[in-house]
Every structure is written in structure tokens, then in C-alpha cells.
Amino acid sequence: MALAWWDTFSEAIRDATWAEFEAAFREHHVPQGIVQLKEDEFRELTQGGRTVSEYVHKFTELARYAPEDVSTESRKMARFLRGLRPELKTILASQDFHSFSHLSNKAIQVERAK
């Protein structure tokens, strides 16, 4: 479906970039109401009773609906930290991480060590 849509889209707009295609595809196929619901769900997301691994998965799944909230590694890491359970956040907040992957891996390790 996406390939057929891309062919049609690229025919109509010759120099379309992937980002332009992605935005147009989402606008055409995903109702704005759903996007808003998912964006709200992302902004309210916390680890809660999930494992860190489950939280990382849900965080990553929903982050695409709020790209401005995760537009840089530091913003993405800050948002992720805010949603962690307090005991993990306390341990991890005082450390520096060079990437989201590094932070999420450390969170998994800390959780396993508890």
C-alpha cells in the first residue's frame, strides 16, 4: 500500500523527499483525531507497572506522534526520564548519557540489579 501511494505521490510531486511523503501519507491515512489521541497518550506516558523494556517499547511506539517532544537526544532523554518510576529516576537522573539508547540500556540494567 505504501509503495503504491509513494509511486502516485512521487509522480504528482517530482522532487518529493521521504519526509514530505511520510507527512502526506500520514495526513491522508491517519485521521488527525487519532494523531492527537496518540500525542496526548505519549505526553502522559509513564512507566507505571511496566518493565523498563516495555516502557522503552511503548515510548518509542508513541514518540512518532509528538516529534517536537523528541526532536533532539537531550529532549528525548529528558522526556523518557520524566516517565520512569521514581526509584529509577533518582538513580539515573544524576548521570550523563550520550544517547537515548545508552540511557534506556542503563535503566534496564538498574532495574535488573534491584
Is this prediction's pTM over 0.85?
Answer: no
Q: Look at residue 89 and tell me if it is in a domain.
A: yes
**Residues spanned by the domain of 64:** 45-113
Chain segment 1-55, per-residue pLDDT in tens: 667 766 776 666 667 777 777 777 777 777 889 989 999 999 999 999 999 999 9
Residues 6+ apart with CB under 8 A from 59: 42, 45, 79, 80, 83
Say if residues 77 and 106 touch (Cβ distance below 8 Å): no
* 83 falls within a domain: yes
* Number of domains observed in the structure of the chain: 1
Residue 59 lies in a domain: yes
Length of the chain: 114
Burial 22-34 (b: 16+ CB within 10 A, else e): eebeeeeeeeeee
Inside any domain, residue 74: yes
Is 92 part of any domain? yes
